[in-house]
Amino acid sequence: MPHSRNNPEETRGQKGTQSINRAVAIIRSVVNYNDKGGVRLSTLARDIGLHVATARRILQVLVQEGLILQDPFSKLYYPGLELFSLGMRARQFTIIEKYRTALERIAHETGDTVFLLIRSGHDAMCIDRVEGTFPIKALTVDVGARRPLGIGPGSLSLIAFLPEAQFEEILKANERRYPYYRNLTSNDIRRLAEKARRIGYVATESVFYEGAISLGVPIYNRGNEVVAAITVSSIPQRMRPKRRREIAQIIKRISSEYC
């Protein structure tokens, strides 16, 4: 006997498949907009041909699962760390594995917390963290957290050493976002970058994070392109000027072995 055209089980299956198709389309669209600085809900819904309410419901689930990330200030959507993690496990991304040993060695030598950041569109994303043995931890950023490029020592070191035109282009793209972070402006970021170029690394004290001194050092590939940044953060008592220079040299020495 032929199946009814209104078979409930078949209808549910079709709806389930449709939901999956829509979720995949949203993920792909968010990824496509990543290099453009994120994407708004209305743009996603328009591009995919969904009602805004439908797109929002799907995005809420994707955000809960870590596949998509929404910036709490700008409300823009970005690829989530879980996407990166899945890709890494599929052997498509290797940067965490490549620098994990370097982070562990830096944490061992300094005793402080070490972070690995990469560029994602106009943002910096923390993709790994290793805690040192010193009992007081300066956990200034969580793995998976995003900040506009320029906000944070590692984030700033990703762009401070770029050609001036590229640096200014990023500042212009993010200038409306900077005030959300301790009322900073593009000129503040510009001054910090100028100092970084003079000394070869970013050093900030309670600029981005209260009660912490952090160093950010750019990591270059063999083509002399900045591919990542490593940050060490600690309390001010452990970050006197001489030790800052020593830690910057430790980061450069160890990270250079993994280029």
Does residue 130 come out as left (phi exceeding 0), alpha (psi in the -120 to 50 range) or beta? beta
Q: Is residue 2 part of a domain?
A: no
- Say if residue 67 is in the same domain as residue 112: no
- Say if residue 75 is in the same domain as residue 123: no
Angstrom distance (rounded) from CA 182 to CA 190:
15
Q: Is residue 3 part of a domain?
A: no
Helix spans in 65-214 (H): 81-89, 95-110, 153-157, 164-174, 186-199
Residue ending a domain, choose from 56, 85, 114: 85
- Buried-exposed string 182-203: b where 16+ CB fall within 10 A, e elsewhere: eebebebbeebbeebeeeebbb
Range of the domain at 24: 8-85
Q: Is residue 250 part of a domain?
A: yes
- Say if residue 187 is in the same domain as residue 227: yes
- Say if residue 139 is in the same domain as residue 12: no
Angstrom distance (rounded) from CA 107 to CA 203:
18
- Say if residue 119 is in the same domain as residue 246: yes
pLDDT digits (tens), the chain, 259 positions = 444 455 555 555 566 688 888 999 999 899 888 877 889 999 999 988 999 999 999 999 999 999 999 988 889 999 988 887 676 555 445 788 889 999 999 999 999 999 999 988 888 989 899 998 887 777 677 888 888 999 999 999 999 999 999 999 999 999 999 998 888 999 999 999 999 999 999 998 767 777 778 899 999 988 889 999 999 998 888 889 999 999 999 999 999 998 7
Structure token pair of residue 20: 């999956």
Cα dist. 256→131, 135, 220, 250, 252 in Å? 21, 28, 8, 10, 6
Residue ending a domain, choose from 55, 85, 115: 85
The CATH number linked to 114 is 3.30.450.40
Residue ending a domain, choose from 51, 85, 119: 85
- Say if residue 12 is in the same domain as residue 115: no
Angstrom distance (rounded) from CA 101 to CA 98:
7
Cα dist. 94→85, 99, 164 in Å? 10, 9, 29
- Say if residue 112 is in the same domain as residue 186: yes
The CATH number linked to 68 is 1.10.10.10
Cα dist. 11→104, 154, 255 in Å? 53, 51, 55
Angstrom distance (rounded) from CA 130 to CA 19:
38
Residue 36 C-alpha from the chain's centroid? 14
- Say if residue 54 is in the same domain as residue 129: no
Q: Is residue 1 part of a domain?
A: no
- Say if residue 104 is in the same domain as residue 208: yes
Q: Is residue 215 part of a domain?
A: yes
Closest to 27 measured CA to CA, from 73, 84, 72: 84
- Say if residue 63 is in the same domain as residue 143: no
- Say if residue 24 is in the same domain as residue 107: no
